[in-house]
Amino acid sequence: MTRQLLYQLLFPFFFLPVFAQKNSTTNYHPPLDIPLILSANFGELRPNHFHMGVDFKTNGTTGLKLYAIEKGYVSRIKVSPYGYGKVVYINHPNGVTSVYAHCSTFVGKIDSLVTLTQQKEQNFEVEIFPKPTEIVLQKGENFALSGNTGSSTAPHLHFELRDTKTESAMNPLIFGFDLIDTKAPEIRAVKIYGLTEKGYLLKGKNKTIPVSKGKFGYYIGGNATTIPSNFCSEQGGIGFAFDVIDHYNQADNPLGLYGSYLIVNNDTIFGHHLDSVSFDHTRYINSHTDYEEYHGAKKKYHKSFRTKENPLTIYHNDNIGIIHLQPNDTAKINYVAYDTKNNKSELTFKVSVLAGVLHSSPTLSPKTLLFPDSSFSYKGATFAVDIPEGCVYEPIPKQLETEKSTSIGSSSQPIQKTIAVKLKLVAPQLSTEKYYIAANGSYLATKYTNGWLSADSKSLGSFSIKVDTIPPSIATLNFTKIDTLCTKPVLSWKVSENKTSLVDYDLFVDGHWQVLEYETKGSYLFFRKPENLVGKHFLKIILKDACGNEMIWEKEMSF
């Protein structure tokens, strides 16, 4: 039976998503040679993004061999102290790219190419795009070791499958990796919202109802609930969101929900399924989930409605999921949460609107609000800001301050795009590179031109000019200041940069540049001593922060 047909039988309610043809026939080699156990699945809700791959456990350790899932060629290699850390991308003949992140080390040709490039560019951080004939791998060939580099907080393999052409991330549990899963998702709460006709939230008009599990499945108290009449309006209506997590066999940790649908009075009005997410859209997580609940109570609500502007392709159809109810109306709600193996959990209840007056839509004025479908620019004597169209997810208060403080919007409101901020640098006492713009107190990469500081910000809120004249600091970690003889294979230092960020870190041994690895978790620098480095040598480390403050550490050592 084809998957398409299977879905038609299982979910006769809705118009079906077209699954790509890349699944079913794939017979990938596992990327690890231990059983594949998930610590995170595809599409989990994360800050500003969906989890774009799966995380496989690596027995709590690093250094496990990683294998190419299919024959192909290495198309990209990156080394960074942030994000994916050390990562390898392999393009396969079937149009799929596999991605292996947070590696500890590369192996063979990849390792030599990275070392060569680092020496050539005199930089630990490199990004390489080898030609298709340069590094060819066979199915099941080892090319790197698992690790914990970049923003990873514990050893694991972050693994992705992408459509090579579009670079959209695909759900590995649909497109090739079959894991045993007999546990259904867990529904924990339901939230009801008053909505405008565009799917925007009406401020303060929402209600949360806990969900319990009994003998016959999930339920809410009395199997029914009521909402005030002012949740509803002439054009708008109400919408639902559900706090749902999923579970897998062999993993105690909670995982993310794969799919859902919402049936109102026997009509399927909304549904989502996390098969594929494009990197351009992933930040729309801020609109898909209840942002306030996610950042406040860390609750994982999936909305069963969306705003008009939300372009995510994870939804079953074009409906935005608004339920048009009027005072005294009652609707039968049926919600189904399912995983990639079609284990299902259901919740059925009635919602009634109490008698009373409707919500009267206030006129939304561009004088006081920022809108998703329009841009906004302000230029004053000392502060300027440019907000592009499609930046905010809902109409939000503009809160423009240009006098005593300079701010726009609130840091508690997420944004989709970067905004351009400028602040006038009046009568600087120091060299201009020492000044930077801070967004809500945090450093932004800043430029200076013609009396103005400018920066791109990924948050709204308050903006101010700050000064950094303090160089980064450095301290030896696995040896002491007075040690002159070193027998250790790796030397490490702790660095700290309090105000801005460490932008340059170089190690010279007898004046020759050597790779100094930077690990942002805990702020460590590492030097893996080459085996042929013996005898007495002079070590010098130069650190630079974003405001050009420099720190030099030097010492003569014997190896």
Q: How many residues does the chain have?
A: 559
Q: Is 482 exposed, middle or buried (0-12, 13-18, 19+ CB in 10 A)?
A: exposed
339 sits in the region (left: phi over 0; alpha: psi -120 to 50; else beta) called: beta
Nearer to Zn ion, 158 or 398 (CB): 158
What are the Cα distances from residue 190, in Å, to 220, 232, 342?
9, 18, 21
Nearer to Zn ion, 55 or 243 (CB): 55
Nearest approach, Cβ of residue 44 and Zn ion (Å): 8
Nearer to Zn ion, 154 or 490 (CB): 154
How many residues bind Zn ion (CB under 5 A)? The answer is: 2
String of b and e for 335-367 (b: at least 16 CB within 10 Å)? bbbbbbbebbbebebebebeeeebbeeeeeeee
218, 346 in Cβ contact below 8 A? yes
Nearest approach, Cβ of residue 56 and Zn ion (Å): 9
Nearest approach, Cβ of residue 389 and Zn ion (Å): 32
Nearer to Zn ion, 148 or 206 (CB): 148
Among 31, 43, 55, 474, which residue sits at the site for Zn ion (rule: CB under 5 A)?
Answer: 55
Nearer to Zn ion, 118 or 282 (CB): 282
Per the structure block, which two tokens stand in for 31? 């990327």
Nearest approach, Cβ of residue 87 and Zn ion (Å): 11
Nearest approach, Cβ of residue 127 and Zn ion (Å): 20
Q: What is the Cα–Cα distance from 436 to 445, expressed in whole angstroms?
A: 7
Q: Is 98 exposed, middle or buried (0-12, 13-18, 19+ CB in 10 A)?
A: buried
At residue 512, φ and ψ (nearest 5 deg) are -100, 130
278, 312 in Cβ contact below 8 A? no
At residue 223, φ and ψ (nearest 5 deg) are 55, 20
* Nearest residue to 19 via CA among 280, 288, 258: 258
Per the structure block, which two tokens stand in for 257? 């929900």
Nearer to Zn ion, 15 or 82 (CB): 82
Which 81-140 positions form the footprint of Zn ion (CB under 5 A)? none
Residue 84, C-beta contacts closer than 8 angstroms, at least 6 positions apart: 78, 99, 101, 102, 150, 151, 158
Nearer to Zn ion, 37 or 502 (CB): 37
Nearer to Zn ion, 154 or 364 (CB): 154
Nearest approach, Cβ of residue 53 and Zn ion (Å): 5
3-state SS class at 99: strand
Nearest approach, Cβ of residue 25 and Zn ion (Å): 26
264, 389 in Cβ contact below 8 A? no
**Closest-approach residue to Zn ion (CB):** 158
* Nearest residue to 54 via CA among 75, 31, 74: 31
110, 96 in Cβ contact below 8 A? no
Nearest approach, Cβ of residue 320 and Zn ion (Å): 30
250 sits in the region (left: phi over 0; alpha: psi -120 to 50; else beta) called: left
Nearer to Zn ion, 87 or 320 (CB): 87
Nearest approach, Cβ of residue 416 and Zn ion (Å): 22
- Print the binding letters for residues 447-486 with Zn ion: x by CB under 5 A, - otherwise: ----------------------------------------
Nearer to Zn ion, 158 or 303 (CB): 158
3-class secondary structure per residue, 8-53: HHHCCCCCCCCCCCCCCCCCCCCCCCCCCCEEECCCCEECCEECCC
Which 134-163 positions form the footprint of Zn ion (CB under 5 A)? 158
Nearest approach, Cβ of residue 46 and Zn ion (Å): 9
Nearer to Zn ion, 158 or 288 (CB): 158
Nearest approach, Cβ of residue 113 and Zn ion (Å): 25
**Tally of CB atoms within 10 A around 311:** 12
Nearest approach, Cβ of residue 51 and Zn ion (Å): 6
Nearer to Zn ion, 54 or 557 (CB): 54
Residues of this chain that bind Zn ion (CB under 5 A): 55, 158
